[in-house]
Amino acid sequence: MVTRTDFYLGTGLTAQWLGSLQFACHPDNLLKLSHGRATLTAQGTSAYRTAVKDLLLMWAVGGLGAAHEPRNGWPWDWESSHCNDWIITHFGGAAHMTAGGGDRWHRLDPEDPRPPLQCGPPDFARWLRDPRAAPAVPLPVHRLPDTPATDCTHLV
């Protein structure tokens, strides 16, 4: 199964996309790597930004999967991170995460950064029909408005 994780700085429609990982990038797997653990436990914005940059580099160099940096453009056929498995961001002095279609951000404890047991869409069938529908967390759109976007139903 292909896993996709997107990384942001901040929240809402103005969050800054820092990059994405593909293949085996479940948060539990990220915690096994020093750069992944540094990303999920970063308490400062600068430390988080550096950790994500290092993680993207080491993911590709280590042959763990594909790493996508913003300079190369949005890598997905869909318009936002709502269709991806995991979305990780940093605000308020800590990393937070949600799953695709998730309805809120879950703060990760820097001392014990395990992902929450439930952080995905509250209504999975509704999410498949419209992943951006409320109450999904607001996220920026990365495709041009006149470019057709793929929906999430092909991922299941």
DSSP codes, 64-123 = SSEEE-GGG---SSSSSGGGSSEEEEEETTEEEEEETT-SS-EEPBTTB-PPPS--S-SS
Answer yes or no: is pLDDT of 149 > 70. no
Confidence of residue 151 (pLDDT cuts 50, 70, 90): low
Q: What is the DSSP letter of 131?
A: T
Rounded to the nearest integer, the mean pLDDT of the chain is: 88
pLDDT at 114: 86
Residue 147 pLDDT greater than 60, yes or no: no
DSSP 23: S
Q: DSSP string spanning 25-38?
A: --HHHHTTSHHHHH
